[in-house]
Amino acid sequence: MSSRTLPLLFINLGGEMLYILDQRLRAQNIPADKAKKVMNDIITTMFNKKFLEELFKPQELYSKKALRTVFDRLAHASIMRLNQASMDKLYDLMTMAFKYQVLLCPRPKDILLVSFNHMDAIKDFVKDTPSILSQVDETYRQFFFNTNIGEFQLIRQTLLIFFQDMHIRVSIFLKDKVQNSNGRFVLPTSGPVPHGTQVPGLIRIFSCTGEEITRLKFNNGGNYTTALREGSFDIFGDRVTKLGTNMYSVSRPVETHMSGTSKNSAQHTKVSAAPNPLAKEELNLLARLMGGLEVQKPGNTDTDFRINLFATDEEEEEALISRPDELSYGVINIQATKDQQANAELAKIMGEFTESGDQSPSVSNKGDDLLAMMDGL
């Protein structure tokens, strides 16, 4: 597992989230000033300097539940509100889109180009706000350009392990015939080969002196073409690949469905009752990351509004009821305050992760430690 995967996962999922929210804000005819405020607030929070400093520190990739909690908080960093069913759908669309992009990356290093496509689009969202634009530009400089091929392969492997049990059917992918009815993606056997490689189909045999002796041809089983030019890894430039660009720029309805395979596997994949040895570290990660996330407090009915990722409220309610419990991400709500309610909430969370017979400090002390850490940010 690579310890440098988390920032790539966060930025790419965040980019997909912004694509979807931008599309829904336009589809629901939200006034331009409110829509701009939502996008600006979320992007400002997403590229907060202190937040990214924690994100780019080498660390293990944490659970889906922990990341979902961060994105739930991020999505509510402005005046927009999402019900649970819409948040579930938003997260499903984000994860399946990036999973598809990782699977189709010609080379492991091209995950960087996918990330830059997302960031280029994010910059376009805030092109009229120089202060936010500079935050995004600063993030480019934190990427690990000098990483070797082996490390990029490990990053790709880590991402695929994270996504391997996710098989949500997405209408766009189904219509484009790049996803099967069981939620699994169809990988192409045609198109350009990765940059720096040749079209398969030829075996060359050399002598011990390096002289070519003979050539043998074979059927490669596909319809491959020569590689395209390499995409630009500079702050500005042509990325060449379309992976990571906005697939919602053309108005088209997007639905998600749990595939039969996913439902069946979810029934057999019960949540382990054994304590997670990374639980404390996971909560510490959330405390550090979320300490820098300032969430707009609800209450101003004149400015707050709700976004629905479904066609109607009835569909949203039905989706919430019909979603299997096994597939719930179980979002943890952490409030970075010193009040008694937050302390009790953290104590309860820590209690759920505490091993029976554990001689570690009391649950309430653990909650106090986390609160102190968050207040220090």
pLDDT, tens digit, 9 for 90 and up, residues 344-373: 544 444 444 433 334 333 333 433 333 333
CA separation for the pair 185, 163 (Å, rounded): 12
Where helices occur in the chain by DSSP H, the ranges are 6-27, 32-46, 49-55, 64-75, 84-104, 110-125, 130-140, 149-163, 171-175, 260-268, 279-290, 313-322, 340-353, 363-375
What is the pLDDT at residue 217? 94
Higher pLDDT, 272 or 103: 103
Q: Are 21 and 80 a contacting pair, CB within 8 Å?
A: yes
User: Taking the domains of the chain in order of start, what are their residue ranges?
Assistant: 5-189+233-252+304-353
Q: Which residue has the tokens 């040749």?
A: 198
User: Phi/psi class of residue 357: alpha, beta or left (left: φ > 0; alpha: ψ in -120 to 50)?
Assistant: left
Asked whether 238 and 113 are in contact (CB, 8 A), the reply is: no
Look at residue 106 and tell me whether its pLDDT is greater than 60: yes
* pLDDT for residue 283: 55
Q: Is it the case that residue 328 has pLDDT exceeding 80?
A: no
Q: Considering only 19-23, 88-92, 141-145, which range has the smallest mean pLDDT? A: 141-145
Question: For 58-64, what is the mean pLDDT?
Answer: 85
| Per-residue pLDDT tens digits for 177-218 | 999 999 999 998 899 999 999 999 999 999 999 999 999 999
Give the model's pLDDT for residue 92. 93
CB atoms closer than 10 angstroms to residue 104? 17
Measured CA to CA, the distance from residue 191 to residue 182 in angstroms comes to 25
| pLDDT over 50 at 321, yes or no | yes
Q: What is the pLDDT of residue 287?
A: 57
